[in-house]
Amino acid sequence: MSTMTEDPPALRRAWTAFRTPARLVALAVAVLTVVAVALGTAYLNRSSCSAGNMPTACPTDPVGPGGRTVDDHFYFAHRTLTGDGSLTVRLAGMTGVITYPPPHHDTIVAGLVPWAKVGIIVKDGLRPGSSYAALMRTGRHGVRLQYDYVHDIAGSPRTAAPRWLRLTRTGGTVVGEESADGRRWRRVGVVRPKHLGARVDIGLFAASPGDLTLRRVGLGGSLEQVRFTQVTGTFDHVSLTGATSAHWAAGPIGEMGQTDWERYHRAPGLVARGGTLAVTGTGDIGPIGEQHAASVGDTLGGLPLALLLVLIVAARFGAGRGGRRRPAGDGEPGAGGRRYRLARLGVLVVATGVAGLVAAAIAVPAGVAALRAAGSAVIAVPLGTELRVVVGAAALLAAGAAFGYGLGTWCRRGWLGALVGTVTLLLPYAVGRVPLLPDAVADWLLRLSPAAGFAVLSSNTRFDQVTAHFAPSAGYLPLPWWGGLAVVCGYAAIACWLALRPRTAGRPAANDPVSRTGPGSESGSAT
């Protein structure tokens, strides 16, 4: 009994050593920082919309069948199809224009952007975000069969017109076929969109996303510039089978971006001459919504500041009083000292992880709701992705705490451990997320450094069938969330191994207070 009183278990001693007011206040400040930045970001990004002189709700991006925000605006010439049916066309021509291309930015040229799309589509109604399947010819990627925004099947790589296209709907299945002469057909794919009702709309469409160019800045970084484009598809030999409405209806799905086409471009629409139908439109059908919309991870902009606090607390906790004194019990030889250091590490990691979980669980839903209430666009993601970001943020803080503890213990100087942690964990992330370095350099920096762990905050998915700048500065980190978490945990494991290595047994130095008098004997700074 007397032994237990004089020498309590290592875990209890570690918790007693950790729960000083200053450390608990530091964790509380970290939590409040994450929440405050999430709400402050929404306030700073608030926007207002109006119709005429009257304020109105700001438009939001549509959400696709999978729960992800999508682009869904194009020009659509359509008929209503009830039940099964088929649409066959010959795409006789495809032309387009690009506004203000480099280098002079003051002319309009004829041309097609790589993912300009014209073709045929069957869609579950006219609501943006509804299920669809589309067979198309693109500007530079040949014939494609795409459905429900995120799925893409390659057909013939040939881009020259004319090209025959056919879509056949049977129940919930859609078959896409292509032909060079209208006699010998090649199947591109068989797909099952998530929802096609008994009554669908089937017809011709045209969409052309913005022309994306990159302007060099800083030390080789890139800023995005997007310019208005337009495409026209000319169809003939149009044949419909099945129970369809008698006449073509036509109109835009979503916004057509009426900026300056009234002066410089052909108006979007349908032009019928004899047996030829010409459809002109702009926009895109794809998995990525508003290019400048906020993501779920953007609500956690305060996490780097919280992580900085955690690194300072953890490094000083590992080093003791600024490294001048080792923590009480640390000087014990053999397994006793290692067990105590391991207990201190465990207490720190658990406390930090719980604080991170509380912070993220409040900041993410509150930040998303505040952004939407302020009129800002937020990319919708499935609930599972949102929960993964919350848990990932907590895991990143916990891994950062372990990393800082290991560095502080190894360096025996709290300030030095915190400095090394900041330079290796936070600085690469800050440099990689601003358009300062070339994309390739930023990519490798966020692959090889502990900053790879910030991938847990990313909810953006790379889809090769859309026009986008897939770079860290645009929110696309190079590793998947699990890969980034593995990298930072690997660094933390190495730092902790260095900190917990067996030490030479022997009598501790005179200024090293060894825990012989029970809990609370640790001397030193609270942080």
Integer Cα distance of 171 and 460 in angstroms:
33
In a domain, 219, yes or no: yes
Question: Are 389 and 474 contained in the same domain?
Answer: yes
* Three-state secondary structure call for residue 366: helix
CATH code: domain of residue 263? 2.60.120
Average pLDDT, the chain: 84
286: how many CB neighbours lie within 10 A of its CB? 23
Whether 6 has a pLDDT exceeding 80, the answer reads no
Q: What is the pLDDT of residue 59?
A: 63
- Residue 455, both tokens: 């991938």
- Check residue 337 and give its pLDDT: 73
Q: How many CB atoms lie within 10 A of CB 496?
A: 22
Residue 511 has pLDDT above 60, yes or no: no
Check whether residue 249 and residue 306 sit in a common domain: no
Question: What's the rounded Cα separation, in Å, for the pair 411 and 405?
Answer: 10
Rounded (5°) CA angle 73-76-79: 140
Residues 450, 366 share a domain: yes
Q: Is residue 527 part of a domain?
A: no
Q: Write out pLDDT tens, residues 143-189.
A: 999 999 999 999 998 767 799 999 999 999 999 999 999 999 999 99
Is the same domain home to 170 and 202? yes
Do 415 and 475 fall into the same domain?
yes
Predicted pLDDT at 258: 52
Structure confidence at residue 76 (pLDDT) = 96
Specify the pTM. 0.79
Report helix, strand or coil for 465.
coil
CB 63 within 8 A of CB 69: yes
Supply the pLDDT for residue 21.
93
Are 97 and 146 part of one and the same domain? yes
**Element holding 86 (H helix, E strand):** strand 71-99
In 78-209, alpha helices (H): none
Structural domain span for residue 246: 71-286
CB atoms within 10 A of CB 512: 16
Instruction: Report the 10 Å Cβ neighbour count for 157.
Output: 9
Task: Annotate 384-393 with b (16+ C-beta within 10 A) or e (fewer).
Answer: ebbebbbbbb
Residue count of the chain, please give it: 527
Of the residues 286, 319, 335, which one is the last residue of a structural domain?
Answer: 286
Three-class DSSP category at 335: helix
- Are residues 361 and 341 both part of a single domain? yes
DSSP secondary structure string, 395-443?
HHHHHHHHHHHHHHHHHT-HHHHHHHHIIIIIHHHHHHHTTTS-HHHHH
Section 97-113 average pLDDT: 76
Token code pair at residue 381? 């993601």
pLDDT band at 295 (very low <50, low <70, confident <90, very high): confident
Could you tell me the maximum CA-CA distance found in the chain, to the nearest angstrom?
103
Does the pLDDT value for residue 240 go beyond 70?
yes
Q: What is the average pLDDT across 233-254? A: 91
Domain count, the chain: 2
Return the residue matching tokens 């600085």.
427
Read off the pLDDT of residues 227-237 as tens digits, 9 standing for 90 and up.
888 999 999 99
Confidence class for position 105, pLDDT limits 50, 70, 90:
low
- Give me the residues paired with residue 121 across strands: 134, 203
Beta-bridge partner residues of 80: 201
Q: How many angstroms separate the CA atoms of 347 and 338, rounded?
A: 14
- Residue reference for tokens 């419909």: 240
Q: Which helix (H) or strand (E) holds 21?
A: helix 21-44
d(CA 282, CA 369): 31
Residues 118 and 266 in one domain: yes
Over residues 369-397, mean pLDDT? 87
Residues 299 and 360: their CA atoms lie apart, in Å, by 9
